[in-house]
């Protein structure tokens, strides 16, 4: 059974605030590949993942996309809603199936405008998201596919209870904005080195330490910043 306190952002709210919001919180399933948002649309809900992971992607005119952030039980999808955006600039896709909660746009806006702890938490989370986005934008230019794959795997398993993630290489490729062969080769190298195993769409991280060494520094920069900004998220 899913509990909304499994989302660390919701869990950090005061009892009174949670009580007010709980009427509008709705538990939902998030199947792999489902799009919660399409870019340019007006979002109706914000989403608080509990056991699922959502990828935020920027979609170019050509249809190509690049991942900009990963949101799991540490955060919320739909920050643009309370920052005054009329439409969402990104596509939000479920990259690891699981559960989560959604909250109507009206309810979160209302609560945000009231100020108080929820506003502070959301602003802090926004800062951590900005850090992740800035680092990813730079990473996309500076680091190899191998390093980026390692970074993405680490960010993903940090948001899961177990070090396994079910994913097709095609999805990973579209997420990282690289060719599929690039992902196949990089995953092959990680597997050969005994860092991951990859079988029937399931990636298991076998040697986390080594994966951290193979990742670019972007993983550590974002992890540290997140720990500093969101102290209520348990360390990995």
Partner 1 sequence: MEESARSAPIRNQLLERLPRARRVQVIARCERVQLVNMESIAEAGGEMRNVYFPTGSSISMLVPMGESLPPEVRLAGSEGFYGISVALGMTISPVHVRVQEPGSAWRIGSAAFRRELARTPTLRDCVNRYIFVIMTQLMRNAGCNRFHSVPQRVARRLLMMADRAHSATFHLTHESLANVLGVRRVGVTEAASALQRHRLIEYSRGSVTVLDRPGLERASCACYRDDIALYRRYLG
Q: Is 40 in the site for partner 1 (CB under 8 A)?
A: no
Complex with partner 1: residue 17 or 127, whichever CB lies closer: 127
Task: Round the CA-based radius of gyration of the chain to a whole number and report it.
Answer: 17
Q: Is 38 in the site for partner 1 (CB under 8 A)?
A: no
d(CA 233, CA 217): 21
Q: Is 161 in the site for partner 1 (CB under 8 A)?
A: no
Q: Is 228 in the site for partner 1 (CB under 8 A)?
A: yes
Per CB under 8 A, the list member of 1, 15, 23, 61 interacting with partner 1 is 61
Per CB under 8 A, the list member of 27, 35, 60, 193 interacting with partner 1 is 60
Q: Is 140 in the site for partner 1 (CB under 8 A)?
A: yes
Using the contact rule CB under 8 A, the part of the chain among 17-25, 26-34, 55-63, 196-204 near partner 1 is 55-63
* 105: Cα separation from own chain's centroid: 19
Using the contact rule CB under 8 A, the part of the chain among 14-22, 128-136, 162-170, 194-202 near partner 1 is 128-136
Per CB under 8 A, the list member of 65, 95, 174, 215 interacting with partner 1 is 65
Classify each residue of 43-82 as buried b or exposed e, where b means 16 or more C-beta atoms within 10 Å of its C-beta.
Answer: bebbbbbbbbbbbbbbeeeeeebbbbbbbbbbbbbbbbbb
Long-range pairs of 180-184 with CB within 8 A, sequence gap ≥ 24: 182/145, 183/145, 183/149
**Cα torsion angle, 56, 37, 177, 140, sign:** negative
Q: Is 33 in the site for partner 1 (CB under 8 A)?
A: no
Using the contact rule CB under 8 A, the part of the chain among 10-18, 30-38, 43-51, 116-124 near partner 1 is 116-124
Using the contact rule CB under 8 A, the part of the chain among 121-129, 152-160, 185-193, 195-203 near partner 1 is 121-129
CB of 48 to partner 1, least distance (A): 19
Closest CA to 72 of 88, 55, 58: 55
d(CA 155, CA 53): 10
- Kindly report the CA angle at 7 between 162 and 130, in degrees rounded to 5? 95
Residues 81-100 that bind partner 1 (CB under 8 A): 82-85, 89-90
CB of 123 to partner 1, least distance (A): 4
d(CA 232, CA 221): 18
Using CB under 8 A as the criterion, which residues of the chain lie in contact with partner 1 when the complex forms? 56, 58-62, 64-68, 79-80, 82-85, 89-90, 120, 123-124, 126-127, 129-131, 133-138, 140-142, 177, 217, 221, 225, 228-229
């Amino acid at each position: 059974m899913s509990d909304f306190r499994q989302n660390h952002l919701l869990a950090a709210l005061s009892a009174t605030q949670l009580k007010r919001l709980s009427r509008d919180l709705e538990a939902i399933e998030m199947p792999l590949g489902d799009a919660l948002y399409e870019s340019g649309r007006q979002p109706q809900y914000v989403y608080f993942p509990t056991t699922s992971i959502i990828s935020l992607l920027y979609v170019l005119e050509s249809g190509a996309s690049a991942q900009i952030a990963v949101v799991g039980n540490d955060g919320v999808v739909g920050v643009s809603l309370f920052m005054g955006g009329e439409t969402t600039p990104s596509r939000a896709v479920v990259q690891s199936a699981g559960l989560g909660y959604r909250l109507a746009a009206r309810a979160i806006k209302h609560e945000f405008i009231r100020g108080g702890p929820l506003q502070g938490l959301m602003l802090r989370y926004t800062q951590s998201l900005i850090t992740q986005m800035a680092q990813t934008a730079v990473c996309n230019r500076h680091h190899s596919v191998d390093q980026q794959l390692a970074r993405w795997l680490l960010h993903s398993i940090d948001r899961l209870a177990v070090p396994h993630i079910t994913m097709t290489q095609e999805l990973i490729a579209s997420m990282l904005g690289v060719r599929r062969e690039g992902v196949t080769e990089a995953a092959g190298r990680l597997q050969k080195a005994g860092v991951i195993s990859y079988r029937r769409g399931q990636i298991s991280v076998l040697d986390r330490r080594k994966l951290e060494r193979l990742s670019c520094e972007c993983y550590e920069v974002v992890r540290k910043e997140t720990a500093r900004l969101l102290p209520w998220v348990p360390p990995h």
